[in-house]
Amino acid sequence: REVQASQRSVAIIAEMIHTASLVHDDVIDDANSRRGKMTVNRIWGERKAVLAGDFILSAASVALARIGNTTIISVLAQVIEDLVRGEFLQLGSKENENERFAHYLEKTFKKTASLIANSCKAVSILGCPDPKVHEIAYQYGKNVGIAFQLIDDVLDFTSCAGHLGKPAAADLKLGLATGPVLFACQQFPEMNAMIMRRFSKPGDVERARKYVLQSDGVQQTTYLAQRYCHEATREISKLRPSPEREALIQLTEMVLMRDK
């Protein structure tokens, strides 16, 4: 069926929330490049970048109010809360190795997958009254979102900076232990100390990168992303067959195949 105007608005709002979060992320990370171009904070300075991100969020909030559906407002407001909570999670790290992966996946959900999951849920609410369909849409978006970020974390180790549109090994330089690092840690326990000091000593970033590439961390993270995509496909396959459903299944394959 045709996309409703309100559903199209949700897509626009989701993109605006995403863009605002990237502008703010680049300030927090003191990043110089994004998608191969200079960041807002690099061109205009941190203060203007923070205000620019705030302005985009305020415009998204106005567009959200115009939809006039309190359920949709609640669903998409959850995304903004999750983004902030995810950023706080990223600032911390777990000493207990067993808790570390759960912490990483929770952060990944809040910072990346919540936006996709709740956007999918919002458009399903606008298009269909069945709560089962809303849950299918949410679970599909959640699994695609986590897989997308897992592949992003893999590309940080396997893709060159020019292709990636941002510096390679950026996460390590920020002190972040992503999937490939956490898997590599199982083969190289000496990485634990580096993780806890957030790769802050001279040579830590280079050593950690070498350990990751010597381990099966990249392959394990890719395999985990495949499992999330498989789950997304399983969820969306509960809907009746249609060209749109097939497109959503193909999207899970595109998430896995991307190289930038």
Q: Which residue's structure tokens are 């392959």? A: 219
For the chain, 260 residues long, the average pLDDT of each consecutive 10-residue run is 93 98 96 92 98 98 97 97 95 83 96 98 97 98 98 92 71 95 96 94 96 97 98 98 97 94
pLDDT for the residue 165:
67
pTM assigned to the model: 0.94
In this structure, what are the phi and psi dihedrals at residue 34, rounded to the nearest 5 degrees? -150, 120
Shared domain for 126 and 234, answered yes or no, is yes
User: In 109-160, which ranges are continuous DSSP H helix?
Assistant: 114-127, 131-158
Q: What is the pLDDT of residue 35?
A: 84
| Amino acid letter, 12 | I
H and E: helices and strands count for the chain: 14, 2
- Give the pair of three-digit tokens for residue 147: 């897989």
Tell me which residue of 36, 39, 18 sits closest to 28, measured CA to CA: 39
Domains identified in the chain, total number: 2
Domain of residue 29: give its range: 1-68
Name, in order, each residue with C-beta under 8 angstroms of 42's C-beta and a sequence gap of 6 or more.
Answer: 26, 31, 32, 33
Nearest residue to 147 via CA among 29, 234, 53: 234
Question: 48, 68, 88: which is the final residue of a domain?
Answer: 68
User: What pLDDT score does 164 carry?
Assistant: 65
105 lies in the same domain as 165:
yes
pLDDT at 61: 97
> Are residues 55 and 174 located together in one domain of the fold?
no
At 166 the pLDDT is: 66
Asked whether residue 73 is domain-assigned, the answer is no
74 domain-assigned: no
pLDDT of residue 168: 72
DSSP one-letter string for 190-217: THHHHHHTTT-STTHHHHHHHHHHHTTH
Share in percent of the chain as helix, strand, coil (round to 5): 80, 0, 20
> CA 245 to CA 129: how far, in whole Å?
18
What was the pLDDT predicted at 98?
Answer: 80
Report the CATH number at residue 101. Answer: 1.10.600.10
Q: Are residues 152 and 182 in the same domain?
A: yes
Same domain, 229 and 193: yes
User: In the numeric block, which tokens belong to residue 217?
Assistant: 């961390």
Residue 1, CA distances (Å) to 4, 8, 12 in order: 9, 13, 19
Cβ neighbours of residue 230 closer than 8 Å, sequence gap 6 or more: 252
Q: Which residues of 69-78 are buried (b: 16+ CB within 10 A; e: fewer)?
A: eeebeebbeb
| DSSP 8-state class, residue 34 | E
